[in-house]
């Protein structure tokens, strides 16, 4: 049986691997929206939210030295040393 991947027709889906959208659609075929297209939309939005969350977390998890340097650049020193 040959598979048709949704990813071959769409781009920039923020998937972890080729075929992930198709896999999720097949895995959750009984969920609401799987018959009218909103299920595909929900899966794509979920993957975009996951990608955004990982971007936010990776920025917060910056090494302390880098975070301190970034803060030092933003704090005006003339308030503290007058």
Residue-level pLDDT at 10 = 78
Residue 9 lies in a domain: no
Query: Which has the higher per-residue pLDDT, 72 or 63?
Result: 63
What's this model's pTM, rounded to 2 decimal places? Answer: 0.60
Domain that holds residue 37: 16-79
Look at residue 67 and tell me whether its pLDDT is greater than 80.
Answer: no
Residue 5 lies in a domain: no
Residue 4 lies in a domain: no
Tens digit of each residue's pLDDT (9 = 90 or more) over 14-36: 888 888 888 888 888 888 888 88
Residue 11 lies in a domain: no
Residue 44 lies in a domain: yes
Q: What is the 3-state secondary structure (H, E, C) of 8-72?
A: HCCCCCCCCCCCHHHHHHHHCCCCCCCCCCHHHHHHHHHHHHHHHHHHHHHHHCCCHHHHHHHHH
The total domain count for the chain is 1
Please name the residue that has the structure tokens 């979920």.
46
CB distance 41 to 10 below 8 Å: no
Residue 20 lies in a domain: yes
């Amino acid at each position: 049986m040959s598979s048709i991947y949704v990813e071959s027709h769409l781009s920039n889906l923020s998937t972890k691997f080729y075929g992930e959208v198709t896999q999720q659609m097949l895995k959750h075929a009984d969920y609401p929206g799987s018959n009218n297209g909103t299920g595909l939309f929900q899966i794509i939005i979920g993957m975009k939210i996951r990608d955004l969350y990982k971007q936010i977390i990776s920025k917060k998890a910056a090494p302390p030295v880098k975070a301190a340097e970034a803060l030092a650049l933003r704090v005006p020193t003339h308030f503290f040393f007058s």
